[in-house]
Amino acid sequence: MQGVGFRYFVLSHAQRENISGYVRNLADGRVEFLLSGESVAITRVLEKIRIGPGHARVDDLQVEETDLDTPGAAFIIR
């Protein structure tokens, strides 16, 4: 996904849903993100991510639930 604005796509949808966390590119070409917020809001963001922006291709989406503390009050790009 790198190079096609995918991180900004995730950022915009997370901010609309008042989600905190981060999104970042990984060295192997994957994109990693952490979403923290209400479960219905996270579900809506994940639905958007599964589709992706029009110029990107989402091959796989792996979701892992965790009990981590809230990563902060905002959603950021790392």
Q: Cα(69)–Cα(13) distance, rounded to whole angstroms?
A: 21
Phi then psi for residue 41, to 5 deg, are -70, -40
Q: Which residues are catalytic?
A: 7, 25
CA angle 42, 47, 50 (to 5 degrees): 120
